[in-house]
Amino acid sequence: MFMCAVCRPLFGVNGEVLLDGKIGIFPFTKQVPAKRSSKNRKADTLETKPIESITKDVTRDCLINKILPPIIAKWPDGATKVLKIQQDNARPHIKDNDPAFKEAAQQSGFSISLVQQPPNLPDTNVNDLGCFMEIMKVQGHNSYKLPHIGKAHLRRTNQLPMDLEVPVELAMQAIAYLRDQGSNQRLEMID
């Protein structure tokens, strides 16, 4: 097993690449001394072995000691230092309020937090130009119809949109609905 760390590329004002987005691939391995001699090595020679059980402690150690240092080292001067690291919802992943991670993530002027990946629902996968707007139109119910935008044709003709625009009226209706339902959490950032 391994943990992969990538980010969106960052470009300067003149289009130059400030950060290519490649942070690193970090295997879950450990160094252990060989118990016996063999034709390939002597006893006590360090061997690389996989970590058999990935726990919260292993994940925390990887984030703090393997992932945060190259992010901080590679991060371009002048770019925002407020970052989010997205994890999937695997059990050994740590929470954002982990004290050791929070301390390590606040060094060198950075403010790095952890967020959980949304559930793996293909309809809301932004990489597939999902149908958030259709879900908003039916107030979160699953009675929506997936729109077909002809993605293959748009890709072939270099017209595939980089961003999907949400009509302001639809966003305001969704916010109003959420407030009516008593969900005021984080809605102040949208207004």
pTM for this prediction: 0.60
Residue type, 86: Q
For 80-123, what is each residue's pLDDT tens digit? 999 999 888 788 889 989 999 999 999 999 999 998 876 655 55
Rounded Cα distance, 179 and 144, in Å: 21
Cβ neighbour number for residue 88 with a 10 Å cutoff: 10
User: CB–CB of 191/175 below 8 Å?
Assistant: yes
For 161-176, what is each residue's pLDDT tens digit? 777 777 888 888 888 8
Show me where the domains of the chain are located: 2-116, 122-189
Q: Tokens representing 130? A: 């999902």
